[in-house]
Amino acid sequence: MKSHATLKTVAEAAGVSTAAVSYAFNRPDRLSAQAREHILAVADALGYAGPDATARSLRTRRAGAIGAVFTVGLPYAFRDPYMTEMLAGLTEITEETRTGLTLIPYESTDVTAVQRAVIDGAVADGLGDDHPAVRALAARKIPLVQSSATAAGRCVVIDDREGGRRIGRHLAGLGHTEVVVVVAYPTTPGQVVPEVDEAKLYPYSRLRLEGIREAVGAVRVVSAGRNAEESGRVAALAALAGTPRPTAIAADSDVLAAGVLSVVGRDLAVTGFDDAPFAAAAGLTTIRQPIREKGRLMGRMLLDPTFTAERVELPTSLIVRASSAPAGTPAPDEWGVDRLDLDAYLLRVGITGPLRADEDTLTALHRAHIAAIPFENLDVILGRGISVDLDDVQAKLVTRHRGGYCYEHGILFAAVLERAGFRVDRLLARTGDPAEHPRPRSHLVLRVRAGDRDWLADVGFGSGLLTPLPLAATGPQRQGAWQYELVPGRDGAWRLREHDGTGWRTIQTFTTEPQHLVDIEVANENTSTSPGSPFTQRPIVVRKDETAVRRLLGREYTLDRPGQPAITRTVGDDLGECLAGLGLVLTAEEVAALCGWQ
């Protein structure tokens, strides 16, 4: 039953004034802790939850909240690293001032949400004075702080034009004259057009473009639609299709630049803007701006009466990393791909005929590799260690017809794909789900560009994928008797899940930051030598096909088929025969050494 207690009845029951009851709920600093506890206890006993917020706002004409206008859709806003960092700064101030934050979506030309928002003030990031949402707030006489220069109110800005000049001067100094600028553009997400109406660009995009043009001269401009990594990939493909071919692509955000890098790799110079948290790991040259501080200052302008500045300009700096190299500089081949004996590999896996960088070839190579080359860790158990140098890997897996574990398989397969014309990124994954049990990044997977989409390729998991999966949330995919799916997580990581017959389980989690050879070397050293690694504790051999997984774990051999009871036996003196049945022919000395393993 709804309580009929009021502020007045609580005051009478507690023997205090109505002002004291109001302070207990809204201004606890005005009361002693003992007095507040007494009032709240009486209120709880009477079923009184506190002053009605709606009535209070009508009486005081204050909502107790500010709004943040989003033009990109709220779900996307929480995936955008710039937006999340800016909001983090803004919420530091709203928390300090005990102010609510209302997220206001703006879709197309619909300003309904802006007009109905119950707020005392608002922030608008990246919007000019002529934007419909800004005009709607002005018509309501809502105090507004913008991150673009404004003639109408207060703002926290950076010098976007100067940031563009710094990028342009950097590229020009490296000898780049064929420069494409990729810009976010208020149109259908992912739509790419060769020319844009620059008057319709977001203010920051227009200024950054102008700065680059001032430093470089004539540039081509490609629209990417919304500020998303996939949009950057599509824009990069359009840029490469044009003539003359660019030697550098300057994106007006790090998110777009990440998409560009996934297409062009190190073949072209690539720059971004913002210095988002992932930029350093990606080796991205960019303009650093203090995003969190921008959010904090916008909040202070609205909520701190002692902060009277009308306009604040924050500093920026050029951060040079590996993604921008001089024009004409060949991309360094840290992986030694030119040393691969491709013909010997194709003979080993049974593939003939010309290779094309398409989905069918990728699938055929993936399936053939798994069918031909076992997953095993026997050199660790034999005390020989594991090398991830391509020469050593192909000598072992190709020439000597041995198997290997994830780093060896991944190093070899990535080299094969790159020689076939695919673009490949080496990625490090965790086994399982870190939200359930955090494990190190100890598994190597590949992101492969085939056609106009990315794929997850993984030939080194032992009991994992038979063929690549589209790197997208496309739902369950059947591979023989097995089912897999990729699911994006709120933490920005992808989860590869397998259906085990009773339910889905996460078998690995990864992000899409490309790794260097040194990253793989460090991960391999830990995996092959750490006493806590599963690969230093017992022999492991795994083979998988369309219907079954065969495993040798220590001395236990298991045959697993989905939906059927596992068949298990203990291996004794027949270890050599068991290994041969798994595709590994070892010397008598090697078998004897493994038989002596404890």
Report, as residue numbers or ranges, the catalytic residues: 406, 443, 458
**How many C-beta neighbours within 10 Å does residue 76 have?**
14
Contact between 455 and 471 under an 8 Å Cβ cutoff? The reply is yes
Residue 317 to residues 205, 255, 273, 488, 572, Cα–Cα distance (Å): 17, 18, 10, 33, 66
In 353-505, alpha helices (H) = 359-372, 378-381, 390-394, 406-419
Measured between alpha carbons, how far is 408 from 579 in angstroms, rounded to an integer? 19
Number of alpha carbons in the 13 Å side-chain half-sphere of residue 92:
13
Residue 147 identity: S
**Three-state DSSP class for 279?**
helix
Residue 371 identity: A
Measured between alpha carbons, how far is 426 from 441 in angstroms, rounded to an integer? 12
C-alpha closest to that of 477 among 16, 468, 361, 355: 468
Measured between alpha carbons, how far is 162 from 144 in angstroms, rounded to an integer? 25
The residues that bridge with 104 in the sheet, in sequence order, are 69
Phi and psi dihedrals of 558, rounded to 5? -130, 140
Contact between 469 and 487 under an 8 Å Cβ cutoff? The reply is no
**Three-state DSSP class for 378?**
helix
Calculate the CA dihedral of residues 101, 146, 188, 456 and round it to 10 degrees.
-60
Contact between 376 and 541 under an 8 Å Cβ cutoff? The reply is yes
C-alpha closest to that of 445 among 371, 366, 373: 366
User: 3-state secondary structure string, 41-98?
Assistant: HHHHHHCCCCCCHHHHHHHHCCCCEEEEEECCCHHHHCCCHHHHHHHHHHHHHHHHCC
User: What is the DSSP secondary-structure string of 529-596?
Assistant: H-TTSGGGTS-EEEEE-SS-EEEEETTEEEEE-TTS--EEEE--TTHHHHHHHTT----HHHHHHHHT
Calculate the CA dihedral of residues 235, 241, 247, 253 and round it to 10 degrees.
0
Q: 39: part of which helix (H) or strand (E)?
A: helix 33-46
The verdict on whether omega for the bond into residue 28 sits within 30 degrees of 0, i.e. cis, is: no
C-alpha closest to that of 413 among 378, 381, 444, 451: 444
Measured between alpha carbons, how far is 457 from 477 in angstroms, rounded to an integer? 14
**Three-state DSSP class for 331?**
coil
Measured between alpha carbons, how far is 131 from 218 in angstroms, rounded to an integer? 29
